[in-house]
Structure 1
Amino acid sequence: MKKNKTIANALLEGKHRLQLAGKDNYAFEAELLLMEVCQISRVQLFTHGEKMILPEEEARYNDYLNQRESNRPLQYILGQCEFMGLPFYVGEGVLIPRGDTELLVETVLSMSKENNIQQVIDLGTGSGCIPICLAHYGKMNCLGVDISPKALSFARKNAEKNQAVVEWLESDLFDKVPPSWKGSFDAIISNPPYIAKAEIGTLMPEVRDFEPKNALDGGEDGLAFYQRIIKDSRHWLKNGGWLFFEIGYDQGKALLSMMMEAGFSQCTLRKDLAGLDRVVFGKLKENIDEV
């Protein structure tokens, strides 16, 4: 970029570069990056277009555009994103929260009103967005579990940022959850890795090349983590406890079948606004025989 540009000129160039790079939301992304660089609001972006930007701001904006042209996710460049109206820190090593997952959180919040869901464990918590939102909006007592120390570092910072009280544990699903907690959870929640191994190479480069593969790879058929969680869930849920999953767009039928076979009743599939499978949940039958 040439030096001594105005905000308006810098924005125009940023939009042009990201459009050429094939970014669908090129205008919005260019605006967000320039707002971050200049530390200005969206209103100021358009009302102070004649203002000159500093050389160091030009250099930083150019760097951000270079990163985005190389497919680094916008959220990683900015270091944050929004989920359920709350701000979350994100970066390499943690999955970026998606709008799809908001349906999972909304489902748990809705069901909690009728079923007194208070003690909750979130498996594969990543950024911590699920338990933080449940603690913030639903006043639930939440435990967030992840195998990744890096992800848990983000989760802790996000809990502090949003003033949410959540307990965190480094564990491969239930492996290191204290045995004394068996039978104590009203609900188990998870948005586990659910992409089939063979499909990972076909994902968008922003996802495939930057987001953590251990948060994407769901095994040969994408169902590996669901099978593990469902198998162990009966030991950790209270009688009549609930199991909630986010799922892939075509996994609803398989998950409903798996949960019913494992002794869950009231199994329900919810689709997202696009009409795709997104959330499955069910209630553990009380006094079910051990399998």
Structure 2
Amino acid sequence: MTVAQLLNKGKTYLLKHKIPQSALDAELLLMEAVGFSRVQLYTKSQEEISQELRIKYEQLLEQRVQGIPVQYLKGAQEFMGLLFRVTPAVLIPRPDTEILVETVIAYDEEENFQMLGEIGTGSGCISISLCHYLPNVQIVAGDISKEALQVAKQNAGRLQVSQRMEWIESNLFQSFSPSYRGRLDAIVSNPPYIPTTEIPELMREVREYEPYHALDGGMDGLDFYRRIIQEGHPFLKPEGLFFFEVGKGQAPEVAYLLRKAGYGQIEIKKDLAGIERVVIGRGYI
């Protein structure tokens, strides 16, 4: 069977099982199975594929039909122009979160950040991207999951920013050293923000395969914002900043939580779809 025949077979199989983006997924999984680039799928379309590689491709297709996300099957996802390893221990990085990173980078032009903190780092995509694009920054990043931190450390090593990162296994700030109190220029977080009752309505790929603790934000989706603002305050410098990614419709409520806690200069950034996606608040002296 040739590359072209195998690709058509994969597209048909995924379409039959009503997999979203079936054509794209079929391509990505074939690239993974045979080690080709997307260009090679077409420039080598008449090459014969070995039985061993055909079986590997068919196994990947079957796993995709079961609902396993392509990113977990490939073990990788691009974010901010960088390639990150991902496993079922971490939330898959999404384009929406790039708005959060880009906002921090834009603020750095005036703020000249030296020390940042991140809560709920997962794959490390936020902190590692910030370290990559802001060469003077050091970051302390925490996550409650030991398995997630292992993935993040591997990503930091491969992307050569380990020397400017500290990883802490912690339930929010509980295990952060007191030596960080009053030292952080900003705290950045994309916390769990999906209301508990809405999780059953998520796509199967998300609700069944991505880590539940990285999704569930409590009954109103705001539990972690409340805790991060309260527990993170002592770690910020007097005019330190919070940068939060938020879910659709949550920006006004998170802005209110920041104002209630004494933060001002509230700014809200929209994503490419026009959804309010990032909320920023600054502390007072």
Deviation of 1:101 after TM superposition, in Å, equals 0.4
Aligned-pair distance for 1:24? 2.6
Q: Measure, in 2, the Cα distance between the counterparts of 1:43 and 1:235.
A: 52
Give 5+ residue unaligned stretches, structure 1: 287-291
What do residues 231-283 of structure 1 show as CA deviations (whole Å, max 9, x unaligned)?
12220100111100000111011011110111111111111111112100111
Within the candidate set 76, 79, 89, 1:80 is matched to 76
Q: Residue 126 of structure 1: SS of its match in structure 2?
A: coil
User: Is 1:163 equivalent to 2:160 in the alignment?
Assistant: yes
Match of 1:146, as an amino acid? D
Tell me by how many angstroms 1:23 deviates.
Answer: 2.3
Partner of 1:129: 125
**Aligned with 2:47: secondary structure?**
coil
Structure 1 Cα separation of the partners of residues 114 and 14 of structure 2: 45
Within 1, Cα distance between the matches of 2:89 and 2:127?
19
Q: Deviations over 1:132-154 (max 9, x none)?
A: 00100012101110000000010
1:33 to 11, 29, 35: 29
* Partner of residue 100 from structure 2, selected from 80, 104, 107: 104
Q: Map Cα deviations across residues 164-191 of structure 1 (whole Å, 9 max, x no partner).
A: 1211010001000011210000000000
2:261 maps to 262
The reply on whether 1:66 has 2:62 as its aligned counterpart is yes
Provide Cα deviations, 1:175-214, integer angstroms capped at 9, x if missing partner: 0001121000000000000000000000000000000000
Per the TM alignment, residue 63 of structure 1 is displaced from its structure 2 partner at its CA by 0.3
Distance 2:39 2:54 in 1: 20
In 1: Cα distance, 2:64 partner to 2:277 partner? 29
SS in 2 for 1:34: helix
Aligned ranges for residues 87-236 of structure 1 at < 5 Å? 87-139=83-135, 140-165=137-162, 166-236=165-235
Partner residue of 2:50? Answer: 54
**Aligned residue number for residue 289 of structure 1:** none
Is the Cα contact below 8 Å between 1:19 and 1:26 reproduced in 2?
yes
AA aligned to 2:127 is: P
Structure 2 alignment gaps of length 5 or more: none
Of 15, 18, 23, the residue aligned with 2:19 is: 23
Moved over 6 A (4+): none
In angstroms, what is the RMSD of aligned CA positions? 0.8
Partner of 2:279: 280
Cα offsets for 1:50-96 (capped at 9, x unmatched): 11101110000000000111110000000001000001000111110
TM-score, normalised via structure 2 length? 0.97
CA distance, structure 2, for counterparts of residue 44 and residue 75 of structure 1 = 20
TM-score, normalising length from structure 1?
A: 0.95
The one-letter amino acid of 2:166's match is E
Give the partner amino acid of 1:90.
Answer: V
> 3-state DSSP class of the match of 1:269?
strand
The residue identity in structure 1 corresponding to 2:111 is N
Tell me if structure 2 keeps the 8 A contact 1:112–1:118. no
- Paired with 1:200 and 1:176, the residues of 2 have a C-alpha distance of 29
Number of residues paired by the alignment? Answer: 282
Tell me how far apart the structure 2 counterparts of residues 263 and 86 of structure 1 sit (CA, whole Å).
36
